[in-house]
Structure 1
Amino acid sequence: MPAIAIRVRTDGAVYLTVTPPAPKLRNPETGEIAKHRETGQPLFTVSLVETYEGRAQVLKVTIPENGLPKNLTVGQAVIPVNLTATPWARLFTADQLSEGVVYRADVLEPVK
């Protein structure tokens, strides 16, 4: 069954970068960098703190290289354009489950 990406509403939320962009590794053993399936662009991850209605959470967001602003700094306010969340789960054994949510955005737009 294909994964279902859920559009995340970003209006009203504030996003601040908490890590600099880092290459997303497809294979940590070889250092191979993951690429966007359609464009072939290298993928990067950036951790963002999202604050909304008095609550905060950290999102690790994957963004293609061409969607990263130049000179992105830690603590910078950004808007993740076309932010989606894709839940996933992997069953290793009958009693060992790993699960989470993958966040992706097309662009990180600096707030002016």
Structure 2
Amino acid sequence: MRFIPVDTTGALVMVAQPPRPKLKNRQTGEMAMDAETGAPLVTLDVTFVANGEADILSLTVPQPGIPEGLAPGMLVSLTRLIARPWENEFNGQRRSGIAFRADAVTVTAAPSLAGTSA
């Protein structure tokens, strides 16, 4: 399987949604687990701003790599962010996309409130 390292140098990364458990099976509620470590996986949505473009990325991160108290608006850095192209077919329809995964998330600073008034 092909993995593409993502350069986060100079990127602004901000939490968009709090982390939530990544489910392997939505019907049963079975959690997805890391194949190598057995750690539970979580999904974290972030706003990724680089080269004048902003995107919302949905990342998979092993739970030990998620700090307590992550909340929308927090600036973070991502350790070993990779992109993995995927493709599947279901009921005759072909779907494809890019899955993103990071080893860990680190809070870097509080968001700037410049230009706001109290």
TM over 0.5: yes
Are residues 1:76 and 2:70 paired? Answer: no
Deviation at 1:91, TM superposition (A): 2.8
Measured in 2, the distance between the counterparts of 1:78 and 1:110 equals 4
Q: Unaligned regions of 5+ residues in structure 2, if any?
A: 110-118
SS in 2 for 1:66: helix
Q: RMSD of aligned C-alpha atoms?
A: 1.1
2:32 maps to which of 31, 34, 40: 34
Match of 1:60 in 2: 58
The 4+ residue runs of structure 1 with deviation greater than 6 A are: none
Q: How many residues were matched structurally?
A: 109
Q: Which residue of 2 aligns with 1:14?
A: 12
* TM superposition shift of 1:23: 0.3
Whole-angstrom CA distance in 2 between matches of 1:22 and 1:53 = 28
Match for 2:37: what amino acid? T
Identity of aligned residues (%): 38
